[in-house]
Structure 1
Amino acid sequence: MIRFGRVLAAGCVALVMVLAGCTSQRGGDSAGDGTGSGTPAAGPTGQPLLLGYVTQENSSVGSFPETRVAAEAAAAYANADLDGVKGRPVKLVTCATNGSPESSQGCANKLVAQHPVAVIGGIDVGAEAAMDVYKNAGIPYVSGSPQLNGELNSPNSFSLTGGTAAELIGITDYLTSVKKVHSVHALYVDLSGLLSIAINYSKQILNKKGVTDVTLTSEKADAADFAPALSNAAKGNPDAIVVVFQAQACARIVQAASALNIKTPMYLIGSCASPAVAKAANGHTDNLVFASGYLPATDGDKDPAAAAFAKRVPAEQRTSGSEGSFSAVLVVRNLLETLPDPTPAALTTALRATTEYPNVMAHPFTCDGKQINLLPSICNSAVRLLTWNGKGFTDLTGNWVDGRKLLDLVS
């Protein structure tokens, strides 16, 4: 069995799963309305309910301050519009990591010492080192945009979307089931040993789905110039190019694609679903498709939570990752609202008992540990495919895409 989570931890998320054909499953609509029915007469005044929050900032390996901004916006919205949790204000205690395991573990210890009812995870490449700290403290770790091994298979971790893993298999479902592609080329972040894994497994699965041409091109995340690697990925006029990088590199990649006048459809993972990436293409976005676990939020959105996200989070910070943090805070708030005693243990029990529970801006989730056997912390593997209209992201297909069943082909 491919150890998908280990590849995820290196930032490349099992290229095997990018190129694995799958069957789609349409899920329900986003139902995240916060359960509120208008602004309360007065703000919450009871004893605060603490939620820990951790994400990566000011790091050369990736910085995601927009995720914290969104989490803080969600807490403010919960208190201003939803009366907190039964009259108790939601208080966010934040900690920023630098991408190292040591900093993630340090943040975990700092947050646990505050005795939060849960810890919300943003984006943190060192998160695996922190999982045992949360588990030993009996505190659930809830993420809206998981990336790493520990987040995806720890017993106290609950991933409300499937993150990069689900995005990649969703892309492949669309390519094989809808587009009926015969050639897929991939440009992915260089990781020792990944190329041989991808060749040995992804080609086998793609061949089963009728994809006869698979070309894999790797490049360093901090490459001085992405043009040579991108040109190589575009050779032979493939039906699609799949891009597996984080947002900072994706911006440079789409900029290079624009300069090279590459017209081939390019499919990018959710970490690249950022206005900064789309704008870097210099108006050449017709061939760009982004996978995300979240529906795009717009000003005046009919969904109250989505409208609150659009109102409270600046447009340039409305990314898939920031949606994940906003969503996770509100989902935890909604679950706590249902509990007689909002403790970490009670919340953990409630999470494990969820079945098609209304998500926020995302597909409903079920945290029974059985959605993806390889990655039992994933509660929801459905994604949407998005395009950029010059002002924001828009839904491409109108359907949820769920490729989890295809993972049986690599067992």
Structure 2
Amino acid sequence: MSHLNRSHPARSRASAAVAAVAGLALALTGCSSATPGTTSTSGGGRSSGAASDDSAVLGAPNKASGTPVTFGVLNLESGPVTFPEVFLAEQAAADYINDYRGGIGGHPIKLVKCATDGTPATSARCANQVLDSKPLAILGAADTGSPGAVAVYERQGLAYLGGIAFTPVEQNYKDAAIFSSISTGDNAAASVYLTKDLGVKSAAVVYTSDTQGTASGLGVIVPTLQRAGVTKITKIPIPPTASDVSSAVATVTSAQPDLVYVAAPAACPNVLSSLKQLGYTGKLAGVDTCTSPKAVQGANGGAEGLYFASPVLDPGDSGDEAALYRAALKKYAPADIALDSLATIGFQSMMNISNVLGKEDPAKLTTASILAAFRDGSDKPNFMGHPYTCDGKQILGASAVCNANEQIRQLKGGKIVVAKEWTTAGSYYVPAAG
């Protein structure tokens, strides 16, 4: 999913979802994922709810104490594109773990963050800065400048755990374990679903014409659609700052495709609205930010029927893990946190670390023992996601990514429904050469 160059208000479906934290079945005992065709709802605004419900979900307090266990975090929070929700969700998870799960080996988790601006030089500086805190490991977040930072981690021999791996550098870092795939796994899985399950034969791919958008549009979506059987593809780049999409939409409609795949998050509402006005009736696909409340409103009915993929469950899912996610964010995160897939992955990353390392003595942990713990066995529990296996074989050309599974969803009748449970692109995705 290309999450770059999105407009800030359209980043998330769940500025709407934390609101139902107590109202969306917080005491349910069933297991997490919805089944195909069922609704995964997101509420609107926060609700204080019943304290007893939240207490039941959060569990019995087990507060950590003593010397903190430090993790370094680099997150993109400066410049035209920012992802503050990722670190906010990670901090909320750490606070929950410290209060209710005893931290790591009884010691509280401390996150030392450096805010980046998307450039490798700043990320390298930030990486050196967090090293001053002597971190046990690096907690992955969202940083498009990470190639500059990973070189620093490699020199120090630090493990890199979780986060959003936007670039091939962290996707292939030898000391990394990454639990979900964004930009690659999601777009590739959606492309195969649209072709194999829905029978698409021709497509128009609208993508943002910057580095990340081009990598997603031309490096993942177009070739995967082609390998899966789409015989005609019209490629339509949109500048990151474009406000007028009329030319792009005219190109789409003149091509008369079976499918329009919108991989331009900031332009998504305008593109979808224009397509509806011009009478387009074919299939629609995009990224999850195209289905945020503000994006849907801006599309003026044009987002109805849109398909997208996500490596994590929707915040409104009816299962126990999503209920815990909502309750923890209600307690520890700002009320206006954007609950997109990236935020969920941030929370997931911290929870997975707790699940694997929570009982260990931090004084005895090393990079080798940390990585061995995540790489031991297969189908390990992945918070709000498909089980992961860190065998270097889950996505071709991304050896550090431990899970390529995505849930296919659709905006149907104004609600998000599950169209297909966990699926991958399989052999239809092949990374670009070089």
| TM-score over 0.5 (shorter chain) | yes
1:400 alignment partner, one of 419, 422, 433: 422
1:365 is the counterpart of 2:365:
no
**In structure 2, how many angstroms separate the alpha carbons of the residues matched to 1:244 and 1:200?**
12
> Is this contact kept in 1: 2:202–2:231, CA < 8 A?
yes
Identity of counterpart residues, as a percentage? 26
Residue 48 in 1 paired to residue 71 in 2?
Answer: no
Task: Please state how far the C-alpha of 1:158 moved relative to its aligned partner.
Answer: 2.2
Q: Name whichever of 260-269 and 196-205 sits farther off.
A: 196-205
Change (3 A) 1:202 1:316: closer
Structure 1 residue 186, shift from structure 2 partner: 0.3
- What is the Cα deviation at residue 324 of structure 1? 1.0
Letter of the aligned partner of 1:339 in structure 2?
E
Equivalent of 1:173, from 167, 182, 192? 192
**Equivalent residue for 2:295?**
277
**Relative to structure 1, is the Cα distance of residues 405 and 208 closer, same or farther in structure 2, using a 3 angstrom cutoff?**
closer
Pairing 1:104–2:126 present: no
1:239/1:196 CA distance change after superposition, 3 Å = same
CA-CA distance at 1:143 after TM superposition: 3.0
Give the match for residue 402 of structure 2.
379
Quick check: 1:225 aligned with 2:244?
yes
AA partner of residue 163 (structure 2): G
Stretch deviating more after TM superposition (168-177 or 234-243): 234-243
> What TM-score do the two structures reach when normalised by structure 1?
0.81
Give the match for residue 232 of structure 2: 213
Aligned to 1:22: none
- 1:138-217 equivalence runs, <5 A: 138-191=157-210, 206=225, 209-217=228-236
Which residues of 2 match residues 82-97 of structure 1 at below 5 A?
82-97=101-116
The structure 2 residue matched to 1:264, chosen from 256, 278, 282, is: 282
1:243 aligns with 2:262: yes
Matches within 5 A, 1:326-345: 326-340=347-361, 341-345=364-368
2:305 pairs with 1:287? yes
Query: Structure 2: where are the runs of 5+ without partners?
Result: 6-30, 34-55
Q: CA deviation at 1:222?
A: 1.4
What is aligned with 1:351? 374
Give the partner amino acid of 1:155: K
Name the CA distance, whole Å, in 2 between partners of 1:369 and 1:199: 24
Supply the distance in 2 between the matched residues of 1:228 and 1:410 (Cα, whole angstroms): 29
Task: Give the distance between the partners of 1:274 and 1:351, measured in 2 at CA.
Answer: 33
**Partner letter of residue 75 of structure 2?**
T
Question: CA separation in 2, counterparts of 1:210 and 1:400?
Answer: 21
CA–CA distance in structure 1, aligned partners of residues 72 and 340 of structure 2: 21
The counterpart of 2:59, out of the listed 32, 35, 39, is 39
- CA separation in 1, counterparts of 2:389 and 2:297? 35
The separation in 2 between residues aligned to 1:182 and 1:366, in whole angstroms, is: 33
CA, structure 1 residues 250+92, in 2 after alignment: closer, same or farther (shift >3 Å)? farther
Structure 2 SS opposite 1:396: strand
Shift of 1:269: 3.0
1:300 shift after superposition: 6.7
Residue 170 of structure 1 contacts residue 402 of structure 1 at CA under 8 Å; is this kept in 2? yes
What's the Cα RMSD here?
Answer: 3.6
Whole-angstrom distance in 2 between the partners of 1:42 and 1:185: 53
Q: CA deviation at 1:148?
A: 0.8
Cα offsets for 1:45-64 (capped at 9, x unmatched): 1221112222111312x111
Structure 1 CA distance, aligned partners of 2:329 and 2:220? Answer: 41
Give how far 1:114 is off: 1.2
Change (3 A) 1:404 1:309: farther
- d(CA) in 1 for partners of 2:328, 2:307: 22
Q: 1:204 to 1:360 in 2, by over 3 A?
A: closer
Give secondary structure in 1 for the equivalent of 2:70: strand
What is the alpha-carbon distance in structure 1 between the residues aligned to residue 317 and residue 216 of structure 2? 43
Q: Distance in 2 between matches of 1:41 and 1:48?
A: 18
Instruction: Quote how far apart the aligned CAs of 1:305 are.
Output: 3.7
State which of 84, 89, 94 in structure 2 corresponds to 1:70: 89
Q: 1:394 to 1:302 in 2, by over 3 A?
A: farther
> Residues 271 and 367 (structure 1 numbering): CA distance in 2 closer, same or farther, change over 3 Å?
farther
Q: Distance in 1 between matches of 2:300 and 2:279?
A: 11
Name which of 64, 76, 98 aligns with 1:79.
98
Gaps of 5+ in 1: 1-6, 12-27, 31-35
* Partner Cα separation in structure 2 for residue 72 and residue 164 of structure 1: 24
Structure 1 pair 300–266 and aligned structure 2 pair: CA distance change class (3 A): closer
**Shift, 1:359, TM fit:** 0.4
Pairwise CA distance, 1:361: 0.6
Deviation at residue 407 of structure 1 after TM alignment: 3.2
Q: Kindly tell me the number of residue pairs found equivalent between the two proteins.
A: 382
Q: Secondary structure at the match of 2:113?
A: strand
1:23 match:
none
The letter for the 2-side match of 1:325 is G
What CA distance in whole angstroms lies between the structure 1 residues aligned with 2:141 and 2:70?
Answer: 16
Does structure 1 conserve the Cα–Cα contact (< 8 Å) formed by 2:181 and 2:403?
A: yes
Question: Which one of the candidate residues 22, 46, 58 is aligned to 2:78?
Answer: 58
The Cα shift of 1:283 comes to 4.5
SS at structure 1 position matched to 2:59: coil
CA distance in 1, matches of 2:94, 2:276: 39
Residues of 1 paired with 2:180 and 2:97: CA distance?
21
Whole-Å Cα distance in 2 between the matches of residues 154 and 145 of structure 1? Answer: 13
- What is the rounded CA distance, in whole Å, between the counterparts of 2:197 and 2:164 in structure 1? 26
Conserved? CA contact 1:139–1:345, under 8 Å: no
Change in 2 beyond 3 A, CA 1:279/1:101: farther
Does the Cα contact within 8 Å between 2:184 and 2:216 map onto a contact in 1? no
